[in-house]
Structure formats: C-alpha cells, structure tokens
Structure 1
Amino acid sequence: MNDTTEPRSFIPVRIAVLTVSDSRILADDRSGDTLVERIARAGHLLADRAILRDEKAQIVAKLKDWVSDPGIDAVITTGGTGLTGRDVTVEAHEAVYEKTITGFATLFAMVSFKKIGTSAIQSRACAGVAHGTYLFALPGSTGACRDAWDEILEPQLDFRHRPCNFVEIMPRLEEHRRRK
C-alpha cells in the first residue's frame, strides 16, 4: 500500500491540444488558448497543438499520430462533442480508444451541472486510453475547458495528488503488450 504521507515530486506531463472547429483559427482559438495556458501554469509541457475541421477521418488520423508518438503522454481535444450532425469528435475518439475512462464523462457531467444546470446533458465529453496515451474530449466552450481542467484534469495529471492519479499509473498503461 502507498504511504499517502510521503511527499512526491512533480512530474511534468507532455500534452497535445487539438481544437476541432469548422470556423476557428489559431488567432481566435480561445478554448485552445485556455488549455495551453493552464497546461503551462501547472508546469506541464505542450507537446503539440493543432486545429482541424469537424471531419472524423482527419481527427482519427491526428489522434493515432499523437498516440503513437512517445513524446506525448496525453491529448486534450476541444470541440465537436455536442449533438449536431457536424459533431464527430466523440466518434473519432472512440475509434482510437483501447479503453474508455467512463468515470470522466460522469464526473464532467457533475461538474457541468453545477455550472450550467440541465444544459450539461448536451455534452458528450469522454476520455480513454490508447497506446499508453490518455485522450480527453472536451466541449468547445472556454468555460467547459476551464472547468474540466481546473476540477478534473489538473489534479489527475499531478503525480502529487492523493489518493491516486493518472500519472502514477502511466508506466502500467501498456503492460498488456508485455505479457507473453
């Protein structure tokens, strides 16, 4: 059993940010900027950043490229998690996941409900793991990105967070590939 009183040192996580939007460019990507600023403020490293249109094949290709990159530990996407016909980010994520982190959607809905009430039902935020890389799909609103980072991702991507966090199990995410 882990000693929860033993101090731990911070371990920076290498995070890629993808904005999914038919209308945004880097100059006006407020949600992406919010994530990038919070990633840096927390002491993590921005591994890459991109903006893609709401095209499932393009999103899947970028996610697969990033999860195969050993220099990326986590991917956060923003946008495309709603219910409209062009919202395909969730389907792209699901095409890449090896495992789904079902509790993320539940926790995000709880956080959102406190802020926007029953409108939280329209979000399909999700998370999973592929090739030892965490993938998180957040709504495109700046507020949703801020809430997801501040209340879920920042503590879970901090090795010092107790009683458990995503960082401490990162070395074990691909142990199934080492089995004989």
Structure 2
Amino acid sequence: MEESHLPQQARNQSITVAVLTISDTRTVENDKSGKVICEKLIESGHIVKDYRICPDEAEQMTKLLHEWRADSSIQAMIFTGGTGIGARDRTVETVAPHFTKPLDGFGELFRFLSYTEDVGSKALLSRATAGAIDSQVVFLLPGSSKAVTLAMDKLIVPELPHIVHELTKHL
C-alpha cells in the first residue's frame, strides 16, 4: 500500500522506538550504528524513547526485550548487531522466537538491496530479520553502520508508520 493510501493519521504518525546495540566492544562514544538509527528516526519525526548497548548475551537481550514489550508506549524496537554467523552472534536466536508474526520480506529485501547496492554475494551471510511481537514491530539489523543506513533509508523509515498502522488498526 502506498503511503498516500494510508489514512492521514497513519502517514503523519510519530512512532516511539527503542534502540539496542548488541556488542561486546561498543560504547556510547563509538557506537556509530546505534547513532545512525537514532538520528534517522529523529530526522523522520519519530521518538527514540530508549537507547542502550548490551553485550551479545541472551539473558541481557531477553531482559530488555521483556522490559520494552511491557512498555505500551514503545511501538517498535530496532536491534543492531549480533545477526551474523559468528560464534558470539546470538541476536536472531534470542529475539526471533518471540515473534508472533515474522516479516520475512524484510530480510529478503534487505539481502537483495545489500547484494545489488553494496556487498555482492557476501549478503548471504546476513541473518537480518524482522517480525511483530503482538502489536510491536522488531527489526534485527547487522552491526555495520553501512548496513544500518541501508536498512533505515530504504526499508524501515519509509514503512515504519504503515507497519505500525497495520499492527494496531484493529486494537
């Protein structure tokens, strides 16, 4: 559905988002990907309610996921990092099992765009994905700031109000 077909309220809706960088080495000072996500959300008129960094540890990610799920003001969550195939990459295994509705198209489109616009066949290493957990949408992005910029510019920012509208229109 094109944005012009959405109700006016949905087109102009400011979405409240929580952002989590998963990394064993990043700090607030050097977290380029988390900063890109927050800046692009704010530039688009959305609200970053919470931004944190946590190590690639399932228990800590799960704790934050439950905390943010319990906050009815948070409409979307964006996680960056831990989506590769390395031994410490645990984001997908930790978060995706909570999805009540996977959004398979996100990962497919992200890998296609990554392949055609930048990384070529290395795109097959990405396990970026998204899904809904009840009425909240959750995006799991790579830790690369270039990948985050691509996902935010081409997929998340343009579709975020529409996704939230679809998830909440019958509530």
Number of positions where the alignment pairs a residue of Structure 1 with one of Structure 2: 168
AA paired with 1:43?
G
1:154 CA drift (Å):
0.8
Equivalent position SS for 2:89? coil
The structure having more radius of gyration, on CA atoms, is 1
Q: Percent identity?
A: 36
Alpha-carbon distance in structure 1 between the residues aligned to 2:168 and 2:135: 8
Evaluate the alpha carbon distance shift between residue 22 and residue 111 of structure 1 in structure 2; reply closer, same or farther with a 3 A threshold: same
TM-score, normalised via structure 2 length: 0.91
Q: Which residue of structure 2 lines up, in the alignment, with residue 117 of structure 1?
A: 120
Q: Which residue of structure 2 lines up, in the alignment, with residue 46 of structure 1?
A: 48
Q: Which residue of structure 2 lines up, in the alignment, with residue 8 of structure 1?
A: 8
Gap runs ≥5 in structure 1:
159-164, 176-180
Gap runs ≥5 in structure 2:
none
AA paired with 2:89?
D
1:95 CA drift (Å):
2.8
Displaced runs of 4+ in structure 1, greater than 4 A? 4-7
Further displaced range: 95-104 or 142-151: 95-104
Alpha-carbon distance in structure 2 between the residues aligned to 1:144 and 1:69: 28
Alpha-carbon distance in structure 1 between the residues aligned to 2:137 and 2:58: 19
- 1:65 maps onto 2:67 in alignment: yes
Equivalent position SS for 1:22? coil
Equivalent position SS for 2:82? coil
Q: Which residue of structure 2 lines up, in the alignment, with residue 140 of structure 1?
A: 143
Alpha-carbon distance in structure 2 between the residues aligned to 1:143 and 1:6: 30
Evaluate the alpha carbon distance shift between residue 26 and residue 99 of structure 1 in structure 2; reply closer, same or farther with a 3 A threshold: same
